[in-house]
Amino acid sequence: MNDPENTGDPDRPPVGIPPFPDRPPAVGPIYGVPVQQYQPEQQYLPPHPQPRRRRRSPAYRLIVASGFLAAAILAGGVGLLIFEEIQDIVAAQDHGPALPATGGVPLGEALQHSHEGIQVDWAAGPNLDDAGLDQGSRVTDAPGVLMVDTQLMSGMGTGTGVVLTGDGLAITNYHVVEDASEVTVTVADSGEVYTATVLGRDSLHDVAVLQIEDAPTLATASINTELPDRGGPTAAVGNGGGQGYLTAVTGELTGLEESIVASSGVPDDMSRLSGLIETSADVIPGYSGGPLVDGDGQVIGITTAASQGETAEEVDGYAIPVTVALDVVEQVLSGEETDSVSIGMDGALGIVVGTEQDQAVVIEVTPGSSAEQLGLRERDIVRTVDGQPVTSAAELSRIVNDHNVGDVITVEWTTEAGEDRSGEATLQEAVVY
């Protein structure tokens, strides 16, 4: 029987995005959902003082599996996710060799307990809003933590990041910078603003590696590669709700090697994040890419997702272990791409696409873009990319984003007048207009 009050009931219906009456609406890209997708009737207003609207993508990721059903939102976006825990499917992470030496010391070793860590007010207790969710306590001493802002084709996004080296190597979530044509970072403790370049990304683990440009020596994070036991104190630190300053939400470590499977609801559009740390901290959008710390303020993970709910009991956070993130950094710095790790920025066609009746329909074409040069026009229907059938905006974006800037792809499409055409396009960086 369907019992909506029982969170263990597999037939319990998904619930909506939790209200945050005392917070601005969250801003940020949505994991795995490029901005080339567009659903005109869904829009939201970025938090004050940002004047622009960003179009919401239609491909909010929903988890499809059997077992315990809850809902989840990405910690750095406003997209709705529903996730189900998959038991006994995630093997222990088998980490590779140490990262390249930094000053003669491997990076992971150099950052291990390198300083006293992020100062969290553990005694403050939860700062509850009207919905019973922790709004967090202000953090003013957070060495190595960044606030990340992105310029997208159709708006702006925000998230959090972590500095790994004094010369500006940093990490955030891939979904924070996905499809960004510009990335700027603000050093949380000083307010200094810099431009950052995306060196590479891992879509499987939702990690992006950044290089901060023209920065002086930066304070780095301090990490702990040994995870606490279940029940140990944890705190997620980040730019919650795009508020422009750091807060920390505290909780306990409630799970290790957790796995969530996400899908947009489009057939075959599913992705899995596994090996995650689960925390009872009330993570909300904006914390994506920021540190999850232990009771000593040492970074143990990178926050990437949160369960969705209306009470503190329903809302949990999920983080990628810091060791996994460092493995991605190593792979990116090696310059060798893998099935999930890509070097450099995502490629783009310079179009906005929507899904209509199981078809990927072009909504907008940017003047001078690769798509315009190819011959794509508004209301054209994209049928295949590199021989792969395309039946939705999600599929089109996923295929395109698997390529880098400068890659050549073959596109087949049908014009609004019903003519079938094909051609090759050289992918560009996302265009800002």
Q: What CATH number is attached to the domain comprising 381?
A: 2.30.42.10
H or E segment to which residue 372 belongs: helix 370-374
Look at residue 405 and tell me if it is in a domain. yes
Q: Encoding tokens for residue 125?
A: 């207790």
Q: Which phi and psi (to 5°) does residue 171 adopt?
A: -135, 155
Look at residue 367 and tell me if it is in a domain. yes
* pLDDT score of 355: 85
Look at residue 204 and tell me if it is in a domain. no
Look at residue 306 and tell me if it is in a domain. no
Look at residue 233 and tell me if it is in a domain. no
Selection from 148, 152, 197, 198 nearest residue 54 by Cα: 152
Taking only the tens of pLDDT, the chain with its 433 residues reads 334 344 334 343 332 223 233 333 322 222 322 222 222 222 222 222 222 222 222 222 222 221 222 334 445 432 222 233 222 222 233 333 334 445 567 889 999 999 999 999 999 988 888 878 899 999 999 999 999 998 875 567 889 999 999 999 999 998 888 777 789 999 999 999 999 999 988 988 999 999 999 988 999 999 999 999 999 999 999 999 889 999 999 999 999 999 876 433 334 445 678 899 999 999 988 999 999 999 999 999 999 988 766 677 778 899 999 999 999 999 999 888 887 788 876 678 888 888 888 899 998 888 888 999 999 999 999 999 999 999 888 788 778 877 878 889 999 999 999 999 999 999 887 543 3
The shares of helix, strand and coil residues in the chain, as percent rounded to the nearest 5, are 10, 35, 55
Look at residue 231 and tell me if it is in a domain. no
Number of domains observed in the structure of the chain: 1
The partner residues of 162 in beta bridges, in order of sequence, read: 145, 171
Cα–Cα distance for residue pair 351/426, rounded to 1 Å:
13
Look at residue 379 and tell me if it is in a domain. yes
The partner residues of 410 in beta bridges, in order of sequence, read: 424
Cα–Cα distance for residue pair 269/58, rounded to 1 Å:
13
* pLDDT score of 345: 67
CA angle, 274 then 149 then 428, to 5°: 80
Look at residue 71 and tell me if it is in a domain. no
Range of the domain at 367: 346-427
